[in-house]
Structure 1
Amino acid sequence: METKKSLFDNLQNFFGFDNFKGEQEAIITNILAGNDTFVIMPTGGGKSMCYQLPALMSDGTAIVISPLIALMKNQVDQLRAFGGSDSIAHFLNSSLTKAEILRVKEDVLGGKTKLLYVAPESLTKQENIDFLRLNQVSFVAVDEAHCISEWGHDFRPEYRKIRQVISNIGENIPIIALTATATPKVQHDIQKNLQMNNATVFKSSFNRGNLFYEVRAKRNVLKEIVKFVKQHPGKSGIVYCLSRKKVEEVAEALSLNGVKALPYHAGLDAKVRADTQDKFLMEDVDVIVATIAFGMGIDKPDVRYVIHHDVPKSMEGYYQETGRAGRDGGEGVCVAFYSEKDVDKLQKFMKDKPVSEREIGTQILKEVIDYAESSVCRRKQILHYFGENFNEAGCNCMCDNCSATKEYFDGEEHLHRALSLIKQLGEKFDDHHIVSVLMGEDNPQVHHYEHHTLDVFGSGKAQGANLWKSLLRQILLDNYLSKDIDQYGLLRLTAKGQNFIDNPHSIRFIMNRPIEGTDDDDSEDGGKQGGGALDAQLLQMLKDQRKKLAKQKGLPPFVVFQDPSLEEMCTHYPITMDELKQISGVGTGKAAKFGAPFIDLIKKYVEENDIDRPVDLVIKSAANKSALKVYIIQNIDRHLDLEDIASSKGLAYEDILREIETIVNSGTKLNLNYYINEVIDEDKQDEVFDYFRTAEDDSIDHAMAELGDEDYTREEVQLMRIKFMSELGN
């Protein structure tokens, strides 16, 4: 057994540290004593040291099982740098050539290698098992051990074979399992599967006091992200997206706006990914936009923010990804954008999965929804999920909910009613069912159990579903109830809950503030509102300017700029041509033709009224981002029939007209005469054109009423409006 002095000497000599962090010393001592060890330590707590140091101090080679090639490479490079020799640490995975594999095996057999990193897939190959049996294995470290559990956020079936392989390699090999995120359920799964029920368990607190948690409604999300990043110039950050397409889109938008950003996802070449990772570590790039493939084992201490463009799939995933911020103890801001549409998408993904997987997935996702929609301290919710009780006073307003003004309601009678109902129903139902009964929803499940006949059925309707959902979430956090994860999330009374039924007392709860307006409008014309309330005074001035200009040019005002464009100018205050082009419905053509007097007016108004313009609110978007728009313009230039263009893209005729309208309204000139002359006779064309010349607005309904809807179809009027706007406005 190594002495305490030798432990500190090795720490100092090899890693250059004077002291251990948290429970590192106790963990390392336990491994060196040959005991099975289970380490649950949050991201940034120094997990890798727990197996690296004992491996260097033990006879033989330690096998480290790790799921990601990038993670292995990162750690091996670090160890080689510390140890001053390349043979001290190696990895064995599918990325190596035959010659490289031979070199690794020679070094291991020669006793030069203290740590051998292996992917679980490589570990199960018979040739590797045979090879490892020839060596003295000091211990096996199973990193990212939550991959063992189907309840973990990153389940990998090959992880479940690890125990069997270890038994094949040798007898009584000690195991250290490590994870940064494990709920009590996942902890149990890991210990059971690795047959290490007698392991010493080291569990650190999951609280990361320096991280600020915030959930925002998902509106104009691209603009919001660019704005956030521009408000943190030069700082390192990660933006997580669920799809590769979205990763590319967000990275492009950031780059266009002068941010050093790169995309990272599994669809990119391995060399490109490695290069991107290095650039991030070397600070050549400030922001990585990535799928969740990025970040495992990335040891960058000064990531200052983590943004979730989409709802995370699980609380473990969310915790692990946000945990990449502020590892040095400094500032770390975690912003997640939440929308019900995202949740619907994730639920659709689960539809094709086997029933058991779907049940598990639904419950895991439900925890995320509860977290996002609740008004209770975010930190308290996260820690409760990981089996840790936390008093929200300790949050120190480091989450959006604790910083916000709260509204409370007296909950004694409500709590008594909810707990009594759960007891009356034999603790056999989940929160969704309890709310249905209280709200009087006679749905199939309520009907099946005949709960619509209960006296309590519908007794909570006056309070509203929001109150009951909020109440149930809070009493779970405060341990009046527990949730039986194994049994589909059924609610069970705790001793505290039973005690309240017997001895009710005054108690109050936080009223939920629902996240409003979470329908994500991420299209390039999306989000007419940007920086807050509409400036009514400026709007009137802009309308007067539009009228004046329209009169000079002999045009109706709506041809110059439409109302939504003027309204957006009143929240964004564009004062340069570049900024004006980004206003929806303006575009390059219109900005050039009509923009100058509007910019001058806004500039003067901003100076005179000392207006603090929203920082970087006008976001540059990719010019004609939509490939469909480019396709339409090209085919109109080739004089193709609009019906043909529509059918080649699987669209309805109305959809194509809508797209063409957007193109024209943004200032692009399109010549549709070849098509219009075919489908509308000349007299009719003149009549509609003359109508729009003197019209007050560009409403098709008003035009039809004036022109007579028995003579014209909507599509004909719409086509003529497009022609009119294109010829006179662009």
Structure 2
Amino acid sequence: MITHSNLEQALKFYFGYDNFRPGQRQIIEIALENRDMLVVMPTGGGKSLCFQLPALVKKGITVVVSPLIALMQDQVDALRKNGIAATFLNSSLNSYKVRSREQAILEGKIRLLYVAPERLMSERFLPFLDLVHHQVGVSSFAIDEAHCVSEWGHDFRPEYRQLRSLRSRFNNVPVLALTATATDRVRADIIEQLGLKQPNIHIASFNRENLYYEVRPKTKNSYAELLELVRENDSSTIIYCLTRKQVDELTLKLQHDKVLALAYHAGLNDEERSTNQTRFIRDDVRVMVATVAFGMGINKPDVRLVIHYNLPRNIESYYQESGRAGRDGEQSRCTLFLSFGDVKTIEWSINQKTDEQEQKIARQQLRQTIDYAESTLCRRTIQLGYFGEQFDGNCGNCDNCRYPKPTQDWTVEAMKFLSCIARTKEKFGMNHIIDILRGGKTEKIKQYDHEQLSTYGIGKDRTADEWKMLGRCLLQQRLLEQGTDGYFVLKLNAASWEIMRRQRQVAIAVPVVQKASIKETSINTIEGEMLMQKLRVLRKTLADIQGVAPYIIFSDATLKSMAHIRPQTKADLSKISGVGSRKLAEYGDNFLSAIRNFCQENNLTTQKVEAKPVPVDNSPSSTELTTLKLYQQGMSVDEIALERSIRSTTVIRHLSDLIEKNEAIDINLLVPANKQQVIWKVLDTLGDVALTPIKEYLGNDYSFDEIRIVRGVWRNKSKK
């Protein structure tokens, strides 16, 4: 039985990880207190574990609401590979499979059930869930992609609004709402719409440190740049386009250039979309060209490159879409190509909206995206600021921080631009001002007699795009204001007048294209890279045989650790992050054999390399010495815990570590002699592994505390 005190052992045993990511343990502990929660954690932060691990501790079944079939199947496959009883119910199953899975649920054989909101709230399913609650118990509801409940979110889904009725039907069952992105307004809406009761709110940092962000101007050479990026990246790539036509055209061009690429958009039938998505997930093809319809259900951790070949509609969508890169924490690249032609396309779609308020919001969001793309500030400062998170800049992992753009003096052009705004009495937007400067013949110019202005035609030496670049730079530098009424009328401020009086200079950044390569350096040797490729081939072979995605077997990060450390025994392999007990048993021999053969073929040394060096300092800490003093005074474990206001398991850990550090402690007072002998034999058999496998081997007659104490003595003897 997993408890609060051995969450780390469960994490290693079931999921193969040595440590929790920031915030995970805190969230899990609160979830185990049966409280409502709202968790905002960026893609790749480990949201799923926050409800999966508590499901193994709580009695009953955890119901996970997930919007997409692909996402459900992905997570269930991964859980089953880790030896966790999970299943899903959706439209992909025939009636026989549905009945057999429902029977397994009613018999208490399932710990996690994934279901879509439409099925969950259906007239047939709710009575079934009532029966499950009566016979087995529903321990909690986990609402994944919770931003879908809010009209202010970037992916609103009306069916999510019905989930509020779960609160009245299952009043005492806690609800855990999870999302990767949510502004203050969206967070408040999620809490209200789901009826969360005094929820604990956990907001993790939105900073994805492993992602490199860059923006490039869209030119006639942009396809060549994109092709270079794709060819230099040897892992999975997603390329986003605005329209279906652009997706199809770009896919054909890539295929013509011998790139294995597939298309994904709403114009394809369901079977084509599903097949293409599956082939991408299983690494049969490396590149997916798609509209933004693709991605939310993709739990693929090894995407190394996300390209936006067209401008995104808003920063929140861009953060979400680009965030599909590097979910495993490995270095990845996010490239955006900026074209003002895309602005016109998006503006046209905004004008199709019938609600004026929706139009206004969409225009403001588009303006924020353009400002982001054109800014010379740290990309993270802008992104994180959008979500209300302060960031001081200089991230060192975006184009503006790594390669500050050279600037040019555009003071004269700025004076012309601002003077034209003044002479038109601050009543017009940027496009009309530019038309005047370039001597346009538009109806609007004729209507207001603006061809009579002294600024008419004085800017013919610059292109319209150059004037737009200047205008946006003035706005970003707060040298000019813009109305928020949806029409974006330009307004002068005090800084504007300083420029026109020659009291202030204006410098704008000149775009520079950087080299495409982001080759990683985590595997430093040629041998390491060669072994990595062999392990990838083995992973793909095993995945194809079992009909799962390769990353379900092991992640790229785990393979890289194997290639670097080159473990020779199961004990060594078990120490690598991502190798849990179930996967060690199922795949250990395959991967160890491949590693040993590679080492022999290349005459590589097979010395043991520890995944985590142990500190040399073996002296007891001050807190351990305090426990030792009380224990030597004759106090029991429970009495020491009460005296020090700590858990009894912490006292046991102190005593075990003290024994390992050669302090004299009589363990006969802690563990019966007959149990000591049995535990010692198991340790000799299994070796120095985590406590959970030992407990599983010994059974319920032996406690974790007893095993920990004996293991302390066993480790101490092993050193001598």
1:636-651 aligned within 5 A: none
In 2: Cα distance, 1:113 partner to 1:168 partner: 25
Asked if the contact 2:44–2:329 (Cα under 8 Å) also holds between the matched residues in 1, the reply is: no
Range with bigger deviation, 312-321 or 293-302:
293-302
1:119-130 alignment runs, 5 A limit: 119-130=116-127
The equivalent of 2:218 in structure 1 is: 217
| Alignment pair present for 1:95 and 2:92 | yes
Evaluate the alpha carbon distance shift between residue 195 and residue 471 of structure 1 in structure 2; reply closer, same or farther with a 3 A threshold.
Answer: farther
**CA distance in structure 2 between the partners assigned to 1:430 and 1:28 by the alignment:** 54
Partner of 1:237: 237
User: How far apart, CA to CA, are the structure 1 residues paired with 2:345 and 2:512?
Assistant: 18
CA contact (8 A) 1:213 1:400 kept: no
Q: Post-superposition shift, 1:248?
A: 2.6
* CA spacing shift, 1:240–1:44, aligned 2, 3 Å: same
Partner residue, 1:289: 289
> Using the alignment, how far apart are the partners of 1:393 and 1:257 within structure 2?
38
Distance, in Å, in 1 between the alignment partners of 2:350 and 2:235 is 37
> What displacement does 1:262 show?
1.9
Q: Give the distance between the partners of 1:483 and 1:137, measured in 2 at CA.
A: 52
> How much has 1:298 moved relative to structure 2?
2.6
Contact 2:148/2:155 (<8 A) preserved: yes
Whether the aligned pair in 2 keeps the contact of 1:43 and 1:324 (CA below 8 Å) is yes
Q: TM-score, normalised by structure 2?
A: 0.58
Give, in whole Å, the separation in 2 of the partners of 1:489 and 1:35.
46
Kindly tell me: are residues 213 and 343 of structure 1, through their superposed partners in 2, closer, same or farther at Cα, counting changes over 3 Å?
A: same
Q: Is 1:393 equivalent to 2:400 in the alignment?
A: no
Alpha-carbon distance, 1:4 to partner: 3.6
- Aligned to 2:215, the other structure's residue is in SS state strand
Question: How far apart are the structure 2 equivalents of 1:507 and 1:326?
Answer: 43
Instruction: Verify the 8 A CA contact 2:405 2:509 in the aligned structure 1.
Output: no
Q: 1:285 & 1:510 partners in 2: Cα distance?
A: 45
**1:263, 1:288 within 8 Å by CA — same for their partners in 2?**
yes
Amino acid in the other structure paired with 1:369: I
Q: Report SS of the residue matched to 1:511.
A: strand
Aligned to 2:192: 192
Matched, 1:263 2:266: no
Query: What one-letter code is carried by the residue in structure 2 that aligns with 1:94?
Result: S
Corresponding residue for 2:280? 280
Q: Is the contact made by 1:363 and 1:489 (CA closer than 8 Å) also made in structure 2?
A: no
Whole-Å separation in 1 of the counterparts to 2:405 and 2:257: 31
The 8 Å contact of residues 39 and 201 in structure 1, kept in 2 or not, is answered as yes
Deviations along 1:352-372, one digit per CA (max 9) or x if unpaired, are 323153233222222222222
- 1:470 and 2:467 are equivalent in the alignment: no
Deviations 1:63-96 (A, max 9, x none): 2111111111111111111126xxx222222332
Report how far residue 269 of structure 1 moved.
Answer: 4.7
- What is the one-letter code of the residue matched to 1:367? Q
Task: Classify 1:507/1:207 alpha carbon distance in 2 versus 1 (closer, same or farther; 3 Å).
Answer: farther
The answer as to whether partners of 2:216 and 2:511 remain within 8 angstroms in 1 is: no
Looking at structure 1, the residues matched to 36 and 443 of structure 2 have their Cα atoms a distance apart, in angstroms, of: 50
CA distance in 2, matches of 1:81, 1:63: 19
Please list, as runs of the form range in 1=range in 2, the aligned pairs for 1:309-328 lying within 5 A after superposition.
309-328=309-328
1:405 equivalent in structure 2: 406
Aligned-pair distance for 1:202?
A: 1.4
1:106 is the counterpart of 2:109: no
* Residue of structure 2 in register with 1:116 after alignment: 113
Asked whether 1:227 is paired with 2:228, we answer yes
Q: Does the 8 A contact of 1:151 with 1:360 survive in 2?
A: no
1 CA distance for matches of 2:6 and 2:120?
A: 32
| Residue 179 (structure 1) aligns with | 179
Displacement after TM superposition at 1:174 (Å): 1.4
Identity %: 42
Query: How far apart, CA to CA, are the structure 1 residues paired with 2:487 and 2:14?
Result: 48
Instruction: Using the TM superposition, give the Cα deviation of residue 27 of structure 1 relative to its aligned residue in structure 2, in angstroms.
Output: 0.7
CA RMSD in angstroms comes to 4.7
Residue 318 of structure 1 aligns to a residue whose secondary structure is helix
AA aligned to 1:184 is: D
Cα 1:258–1:482 shift into 2, 3 Å? same
What residue is the counterpart of 1:642 in the other structure? Answer: none
For residues 353-372 of structure 1, what are the structure 2 equivalents within 5 Å? 353-356=353-356, 357-372=358-373
Which shifted more, 114-123 or 15-24?
Answer: 114-123
Q: Which amino acid aligns with 2:218?
A: A
5 Å-filtered alignment, 1:17-28, equals 17-28=17-28
Structure 2 unaligned segments of length 5 or more: list them.
Answer: 445-449, 451-455, 460-466, 495-502, 514-720
Q: Does the 8 Å contact 2:475/2:482 carry over to 1?
A: no
Taking a change above 3 Å as real, the CA distance of residues 231 and 83 of structure 1, as seen in their structure-2 partners, is closer
**Counterpart position of 1:15:** 15
3-state secondary structure, aligned to 1:394: coil
C-alpha distance in 2, partners of 1:169/1:103? 25
CA distance in 2, matches of 1:171, 1:313: 39
Take 1:184 and 1:481, find their aligned partners in 2: how far apart are those partners? Answer: 25
- Aligned in 2, Cα 1:96/1:266: closer, same or farther, shift over 3 Å? farther
The CA deviation string for residues 522-581 of structure 1, in whole angstroms up to 9 with x for no partner, is: xxxxxxxxxxxxxxxxxxxxxxxxxxxxxxxxxxxxxxxxxxxxxxxxxxxxxxxxxxxx
State the AA in 1 paired with 2:396: C
Matched, 1:76 2:76: yes
SS in 2 for 1:227: helix
- Rounded to whole Å, the distance in 2 between the matches of 1:388 and 1:117 is 32
Q: Check conservation: 1:129, 1:168, Cα contact below 8 A.
A: no
Is the contact made by 2:149 and 2:160 (CA closer than 8 Å) also made in structure 1? yes
Question: Secondary structure at the residue paired with 2:395?
Answer: helix
Q: What is the match of residue 158 of structure 2? A: 157
Indicate the SS of the match to 1:307: strand
1:207 maps to a residue whose letter is: N
Question: Counterpart of 2:394 in 1: which secondary structure?
Answer: helix
State the Cα distance separating 1:294 from its structure 2 match: 2.4
TM-fit CA distance, 1:515: 10
- Residue number in structure 2 paired with 1:32: 32
The 8 Å contact of residues 395 and 402 in structure 1, kept in 2 or not, is answered as no
Q: CA deviation at 1:2?
A: 7.0
**Structure 1, residues 672-698: CA drift from partner, whole Å, max 9, x if none?**
xxxxxxxxxxxxxxxxxxxxxxxxxxx
1:33 deviates by: 0.7
Are the counterparts in 1 of residues 76 and 86 from structure 2 also a CA contact under 8 Å? yes
Residue 694 of structure 2 is matched in structure 1 by none
Q: CA deviation at 1:28?
A: 0.8
Larger Rg: 1
Are the equivalent residues in 2 in contact too, given 1:475–1:481 (CA < 8 A)? yes
- Structure 1 position 383, deviation (Å): 1.4
- Other-structure match for 2:598: none
The Cα of 1:313 is off from its aligned counterpart by 2.1
Q: Distance in 2 between matches of 1:313 and 1:285?
A: 28
Match of 1:141 in 2: 142
TM superposition shift of 1:48: 0.9
User: Which deviates more, 96-105 or 389-398?
Assistant: 389-398
Output aligned runs, 1:321-340, within 5 Å.
Answer: 321-340=321-340
The SS at the match of 1:229 is: helix
1:390-427 deviation line (CA, Å, top 9, x unaligned): 222233554488542245899xx99xx9xxx9xxx9xx
Q: Deviations over 1:207-259 (max 9, x none)?
A: 22232322322435444422332343x33211112333332322222122121
Distance 1:158 1:68, change over 3 A: same
Provide the C-alpha distance between the structure 1 equivalents of 2:115 and 2:469, rounded to a whole number of angstroms.
Answer: 49
Match of 2:587 in 1: none
Counterpart CA distance in 1 for 2:482 and 2:128 is 48
For 2:512 and 2:370, the matched residues in 1 are separated by 11
Shift of 1:16: 1.6
Equivalent pairs, count: 482
Cα distance in 2 for residues equivalent to 1:430 and 1:146: 37
With the length of structure 1 as denominator, give the TM-score of the two structures: 0.57
Distance 2:125 2:99 in 1: 12
Say which structure, 1 or 2, has more relative contact order (CA 8 Å, 6+ apart): 2
Distance 1:177 1:481 in 2: 39
2 CA distance for matches of 1:488 and 1:24? Answer: 41
The SS at the match of 2:161 is: helix
